[in-house]
Amino acid sequence: MSEIRLVDRDYEVIREIDRWRVCQGRHIKHLAGFAGQRACDRRLRKLIRAGYIKREKILYGVAGIYSNTNKSKQIAEIINTNQKIKVEQIKHDIAVLDTAISCKE
């Protein structure tokens, strides 16, 4: 694992992943205010390599879902440490997050 210097946007990414439980890259782009998807994906990749977040393919046909690791929970002082992703709720949570983002714009 390589160490990176965390900036405010990284903490925001970690908090948003914790808040919504089921986040994809396109959601994080809007929630954290990235200018483009490519910049967002590069930063997420760096956070994965540093061990702050992880990306899992849980459900067939759904893009990878990002979740926090114990390392990020300690740094961002996250209280909700036992959030499990339920397979039957993934599509619902993604739809809720899509709706929240479209209402925000």
**49 to each of 18, 58, 67, how far by Cα in Å?**
19, 20, 13
Residues 72-91: tens digit of each pLDDT: 888 877 766 566 778 888 89
Closest CA to 52 of 86, 80, 18, 90: 18
All structural domains of the chain, each given as residue ranges with its CATH number in brackets, are 8-104 (1.10.10.10)
Strands (E), the chain: 53-56, 65-68
Three-class secondary structure of residue 80 per DSSP: coil
Q: State the pTM of this model.
A: 0.86
Q: What is the pLDDT of residue 39?
A: 95
Q: Is the pLDDT of residue 70 over 60?
A: yes
